[in-house]
A and B are shown apart, each in its own frame.
Chain A
């Protein structure tokens, strides 16, 4: 029963699904069992992956879209939306995911980029896309290419929230700056960011991105999730933070609770109590430039 023909209507519908995920947690999973744990913990969607970012980081091999077998098994195991990652610029992986009936495609820097210059032309797809961004220019360029949801890039697989905080604060600051500009200045700023004047103007008027913006990359504790929400994220992605910790069930539930009660320190204290060991974090200062995932794609 697909009534929609118009590409703009399709885009609206894809933005609408992201709106329904607001205030929720999207969890990385690599098996149907993990997907069931995530759904039971209250995740609003799962991200089907071959390996979680922490393992991809360790291996240093080429990381690609997950095997359709895993994706379909995960799809069968849960009733919440299923997302899956494709390499930046790899439009054929995206075609495959669309053929599998995926709910959302993440064109992700966590996988090895397939194209160092071009992102996927997302307008060619019926499927919905989420893309990572470190700043306003990057976010708006992805939206121009047809992304209907944005997430901060952070630094995936590190359990270190510092980059996610940096990216969200930067985007907020740049939006506030854009909102303070007059028309001439806004033209110049659009040029500087490499985005269209219309889109920047709309963002400045809305005083927020025109699509849903989730925080991602390094979120490992309930407090991290609540921090990102208080900084203005619409929801959070959690990857390695859950299944690389000692008690994934409990931690997953706690992060879901923290994302809802992000403004209530008393509840946050209860939620954070006795969760067991969290994933080991990585101090980013010890990583070399080519070990950092956030610089992939621009």
Chain B
């Protein structure tokens, strides 16, 4: 059985853990470097990207994850996780784990009053995905090596090699298509 790590400093951790369980994998909470031993993939959950980023730097997990990703560890960031993975954050430098060739803008839709839900057809899944956007970021630019999997006015799900990012929260819905996709097509 595949072991999937969930970065567990803060945020939507338990929601991802449940989904990983649902798709038949073993969830592993990651708070320290040693927790990453033997994981087949890693999820960076939604939460506050500044808070999570700070922990990544101070614990040294940043270097460890970057090294493992370089060696091919599949990584998926949802919402705040997508910000952490971005090469560039509009007007704010880069993400703490800049593995993905995209430019992202934080809180691009506005405050919590502008949070929304939308159903979007995703060709690669051949499914209508329920997309929940909570103070979500917007991917404002993608480089040519990045595959766009789903799009509203801008891309909302992108894949580059083994790095997946969604600006919405599949873990907050009753569906588990995205977790299956991550396990079957990215982790493999």
Using CB atoms and an 8 Å cutoff, list the residues of chain A in contact with chain B. Answer: 1-4, 9, 12-14, 16-17, 19-24, 39, 42-45, 79-81, 98, 101-104, 126-128, 256, 259-261
Contact = CB atoms under 8 A, between A and B. Distances in A.
Given A24-B11, A39-B50, A16 B134 contact: yes
27 contacts: A1-B114, A4-B115, A13-B117, A13-B132, A17-B112, A17-B115, A17-B135, A20-B11, A20-B80, A21-B11, A21-B48, A23-B10, A24-B11, A42-B50, A42-B55, A43-B51, A80-B48, A80-B51, A81-B48, A98-B113, A101-B110, A103-B113, A126-B113, A127-B112, A127-B113, A256-B51, A261-B31
Contacts, number: 110
Contact of B9 (A9, A13, A23, A81): A23
A101 B172 CA distance: 24
B112 A260 contact: no
Interface string B34-73: 0000000000001110110011000000000000000000
B90 to A, nearest CB: 12
B112 A128 contact: yes
Given A79-B50, A80-B50, A261-B31, A16 B113 contact: no
A260 B132 contact: no
A23 B11 CA distance: 6
Contacts of B9: 23, 260
Contacts of A43: 51
B115 A44 contact: no
A217 to B, nearest CB: 21
B118 to A, nearest CB: 5
A42 B115 CA distance: 23
A100 to B, nearest CB: 9
Interface of B: 8-15, 31, 46-48, 50-51, 54-55, 79-80, 106-107, 109-118, 132, 134-135, 153, 169, 172
Contacts of B109: 1
Contacts of B15: 19
B117 A24 contact: no
Across chains A and B, which 6 residue pairs bring their CB atoms closest together, nearest first? A23-B10, A103-B112, A3-B116, A44-B48, A101-B111, A42-B51
B69 to A, nearest CB: 22
Given A2-B114, A23-B13, 8 more contacts: A3-B116, A4-B117, A9-B117, A17-B135, A20-B79, A79-B50, A80-B50, A103-B135
Given A16-B172, A101-B113, A79 B12 contact: no
Nearest to B80: A20
A13 B12 contact: no
Nearest to B79: A20
